[in-house]
Amino acid sequence: MSSHGQSVPGKYEEGIASIEKAVSQGLDGWWAGILGSAYVLAGRRSDALRLLSEMEEQRRGNYISPIGMATIATTLGDLERGLRWLKVAVEDHEGWMAFLPSASYLRPLRSLPGFAEIMRSANLPIYQ
């Protein structure tokens, strides 16, 4: 697990409650991705895995931002899955891709083979 995947008990619960409230208004992929990452950081891996599975299931019939799924998978340490969702985001012309060069929550993907190609295909700069 990456260093940002370690938790401090109790530190994230207030923020998680606020994000859960926002997400309960409708499953927005980006905010759901932030929620899933917060679950991981708070030591609630099973909640993050459940949310990621729900998002992947809902995506079969509705548009759910692949950036959110890439964010959760990456925070969980499933980098290949995160990279696959990032590739889908490029194919979908996902608007959140514009923030990718500075997205610290996706930084672990930068060292993977294929990341540079994804960035090039989206016409985005590659920062290490």
Q: What is the DSSP code string of 84-96?
A: HHHHHHHHTT-GG
Whether residue 4 has pLDDT greater than 50: no
Which of these ranges, 63-72, 107-116, 117-126, has the smallest mean pLDDT?
117-126
The predicted structure's pLDDT at residue 21: 87
> What whole-number distance in Å separates Cα of residue 79 and Cα of residue 85?
10
- Phi first, then psi, for residue 123 (nearest 5°) are 55, 45
Which of these ranges, 13-17, 76-80, 99-103, 115-119, has the smallest mean pLDDT?
99-103
Query: Which residue type sits at 50?
Result: R
> What whole-number distance in Å separates Cα of residue 121 and Cα of residue 93?
10
Of residues 2 and 41, more confidence is placed in: 41
What value does the mean pLDDT of the chain take?
84
Whether residue 57 has pLDDT greater than 70: yes
> What whole-number distance in Å separates Cα of residue 128 and Cα of residue 119?
12
> What whole-number distance in Å separates Cα of residue 78 and Cα of residue 96?
20
**What are the residue ranges spanned by the domains of the chain?**
3-121
Task: Give pTM, 2 decimals.
Answer: 0.82
Of residues 3 and 84, more confidence is placed in: 84
Average pLDDT of the segment spanning 34-53: 95
